[in-house]
Amino acid sequence: MKKYLTLAIVFTLLTGNLTYAATTTSSKKGNPPEMTTEQLTKMGLTATQITSYQALTTQEKKMAYLKEIGVTMPTPDGKGKGGGMEMDEDKLTELGLTAAQITAYQALTTQEEKIAYLKEIGITMPTPSENGGGKEFDETKLTELGLTAAQITAYQALTTQEEKMAYLKEIGITMPTLDNSSNTEEEVNGRKLNLEKLGLTEAQITELKALTTDAEKKTYLENLGIEIPDNQSSKSKRFSDEGEIKNLEAVNFLQEKGIVSGSDDGNFNPDDSVNRAEAMKMILEAIGEDTDTAATTTSFTDVDSSAWYASYVKKAKELGVVSGYSDGSFKPAQTVNKAELLKMLLKAFDVDVSSITASDLYSDTPTTAWYASYLQYAKDKEIITAEDDGLFHPAKGMTRDEFADVIYKLMTVLGLNS
């Protein structure tokens, strides 16, 4: 398709100058749009070159002229200006653009202009659908994520889920990463699920984590054919691996109270170490502290608002149970050591140890250590005991089995195990 340029040449003798007035007729819809003088100036053309360009009668001649004078046309680089993703020549060809239209599209300088051009030439953009095996983010969700109207349109134009996830990352949308086991886990309906073991793809895990309510997450999994038992039924059912649990009375008590839950395979996994995110959940559940299950923004740089543990971490910070690290991080996936766990647990239960002077600890725990008063209380109340070698090992992590036992014993001392 060609654009017809009608030159109305008006010869007017004014102060010895010959003035040319060039006007364009409206083009057929679908033909490449005329670049404005401002756009040509931005591309580096001089006034004389702009006049020569505008005098040409076809788009092909204009594109040839630009190449002749050494103007480099924008090329697909995957990073379109204006915050959008540039579609490459193959993608544009798939959409039905001619060679001239592709050249005109690539000459535009902002994503808004490019999207407007595609609409002008009658390209129907794909509408949200179940592409790539994952749930499509609707316009409301994309707006909540901070996308502009042009970015939403660009996102919806992509045809596969992988392209869409890559685009979101490209424009700076921080999605939950899947670089450790805690990021493939999610609390749904009172149960911590290993999404990877359930067969979810990385894109599906990302989408699930972006949902803000427990009901949405449960519905999403059900749409994938995954049934999640009600929380109450999961409490009444004993763990499949109870034969491996040393402190079974403590674990069963905490399960009945909804303080601990198992994995999606019905196991408690007693020998797994407790990370900082898991510790926050168990501690806050033990003190009966309500948390907002919706997406929560925290002051920690490494706690994503959509993470299953975000609300627990936020509440723990508000209560003074945790303060984080000097670099502003929380390190949710890091194994929490025995000294840290003891301090967090006693602070959460408002156990005042300020008047306690440590004097009778273990040979590997100096009485001047920052955790000494907490350990002295726990030792005196027989909440915690030495390991087989007679040492405490403050820097060592606790297993889920061991931590459950400590919580249970503390609740017993405080008269909270009825």
- Give the chain's count of helices (H) and strands (E): 18, 4
**The residue to which tokens 């050591």 are assigned:** 337
Q: Which residues of 151-162 are buried (b: 16+ CB within 10 A; e: fewer)?
A: bbbbbbbbeebb
Radius of gyration of the chain (CA): 32
Read off the pLDDT of residues 75-95 as tens digits, 9 standing for 90 and up. Answer: 333 333 333 445 677 777 777
Q: Distance between CA atoms of 17 and 337, rounded to whole angstroms?
A: 87
337 φ/ψ angles, rounded to the nearest 5 degrees = -85, 170
Q: Distance between CA atoms of 381 and 410, rounded to whole angstroms?
A: 8
Residue 102's pLDDT is what?
82
Q: Is the dihedral of CA 155, 78, 201, 306 positive or negative?
A: negative
Q: Distance between CA atoms of 61 and 90, rounded to whole angstroms?
A: 23
Q: Hey, where are the domains in the chain?
A: 13-68, 89-170, 178-237, 238-413
Distances (CA, A) of 76 to 73, 85, 327, 335, 381: 10, 9, 38, 45, 69
Which residues sit opposite 13 in a β-bridge? 18
Residue 165's pLDDT is what?
77
- pLDDT tens over the chain, length 418 residues: 333 333 332 333 233 333 333 333 333 333 445 677 877 776 777 888 888 888 888 777 787 787 778 765 543 333 333 334 456 777 777 777 788 888 888 888 777 778 778 778 877 554 433 333 344 567 777 777 777 877 887 888 877 777 777 787 777 775 544 344 456 778 776 677 778 777 788 888 888 888 877 778 888 888 887 876 655 444 445 788 889 999 999 999 999 888 998 887 889 999 999 999 999 999 999 998 877 654 467 789 999 888 888 889 999 999 999 988 899 999 999 999 999 999 999 999 999 999 999 998 999 999 999 999 999 999 999 999 999 999 999 999 999 999 999 999 999 999 987 6
Residue 331's pLDDT is what?
92
What is the pTM for the complete model shown?
0.47
The type of residue at 37 is T
Tokens of 394: 């403050």
